[in-house]
Structure 1
Amino acid sequence: RYVTDFIPIIIFGQMALLLGIFSILSISWNKTSNRYIIFLKITALCSGLYVAYLSQSRGVWLTIPIFILLGIVVTKNVSSRYKFGVISVFFALLVGVSYFGNIVKDRVAVAETDISQYSVGSDVDTSLGIRLQLWRASWMLFTEHPLIGVGVEGFSKELHNLAKRKVITPLSATFAHSHNEILFTMSRFGVFGLLAILGLYFIPAYYFIREIRDDDPEVRYTAAMGAALTIGFFTLGLVDVVFLWWEVYPFYSISIALLLTYIIKRKDIIFKQRSDLSSHHLSSAS
């Protein structure tokens, strides 16, 4: 699963899923008569969901409810009955995949076993057990070095020190990161790192979310894409270190720049159209 010559599978799964979400949201921009484009975009969504399924990444799966919620919010011009029908079909599909698909059942079963073993202390070096140890270790490093953290090069060294102190196991101390973006950044860079990583997520998210109920569908759906990007990566970052991979930086920053630029340009066009219409009415009245 983790052997790849392209990019890490969890990053590939999230990017493919996001591009599928972008495709389905952008259907609002097309004329309903353009059925071929709509079919292509629905296919893109299905492809993204299938990649997410094959990735076996529970973190990627965790972002899907976020995208569903965003879809419900931005489709304010769609009747509640129709939305309920679509959501019901989608959830029925997810339940069917979870029931009949071995990948989902196996990953859920492994998670339940890992948590059970960790809680009783019989085996703490499972996949989730190591994550829980690293989260605890990262929090301890932050509380011990709250201002500037342990530094970029100090994380691995401090993990081995925690292993010597019997806080974590020697196996956990061999990992390069803590499988949590926020805790990893806090432990390495302290409170300044915390402010930086939260700003990286929520400053662009603020600008997208405030436009998510706009009356213009193009603005609304573009804002939903941006919210899906920022909140999706934040959610995934709760269980992995997303920005450890260089492929994420251009994808994240260029997508934000592109979507914000579109919103700004679109609102300028709307403002100009309204101003011209208002001027026309005044001229007619006079």
Structure 2
Amino acid sequence: MHNVLNSQQIQSFITNGFVRIDNVFSTDLAREARSILWKDIPADPNDRSTWTQPVVWLGMYTQEPFIKAANTAILHQAFDQLVGKGKWLPCMSMGAFPIRFPSEVDSGDTGWHVDASFPGDDPHDFFSARVNVYSKGRGLLMLFLFSDVSERDAPTRILKGSHSDVARLLEPEGEKGFSFMELAGKLSELPAREEALAIGKAGTVYLCHPFLVHAAQRHCGLVPKFMAQPPLLLKSDFSISSTGTCSPVEEAIRIALGRRYI
């Protein structure tokens, strides 16, 4: 199979921290997935008066539509290109799903953050989960659009190039890194970055560097937004040493730390 991502897209990923791939999975598959999700939402899809919460969080799903969406040939090839062949694990569950509804109410979860990648002292406490400069455990942050998302439909906000700033912030902390909350509290110290929005039709996927700073926002549109944000888990650890060939994820970290290989 030919490469899904061309050299310009790979370089954009290294520089900006993400790449958008359209038509990864079909609109029919997205519709099947939404039908399953609606069964777990305390609201009626045909009655707006029941859409009383700004966001409903759902967990991980293993039904066929989700597994098919996560394991297309396009994605597998892109994983090989960005993370490295043989370094990642197939995604066999899809989530978490923050289902966002049109609302005037603040959902309380729209702060800038970086997703953590390995357990902290309490494996059941999301906020104590950690991230280190080696991105232990996580190959990519992924945003799967299961509904059409326009500028008004609470698209995820992305700070272009922020993954480089986060790598430099993490380096002094070594293997231990920071907890989710510790790192979130330091992001205001980072340089200002241009903001991008994760918009697209259902079936669009954003593959993001694991250190990319991102945030949710209030939904100002008309219909609920369905998006999943599963991690791409690693089979083998990344290397950020200054020698040897490396994947684009590793190269972005090396460049940020001034260790570009020759």
> TM-score band, normalised by the shorter chain?
under 0.3
Greater strand content: 2
- Report the TM-score when normalising by structure 2: 0.24
- Report the TM-score when normalising by structure 1: 0.23
Greater helix content: 1
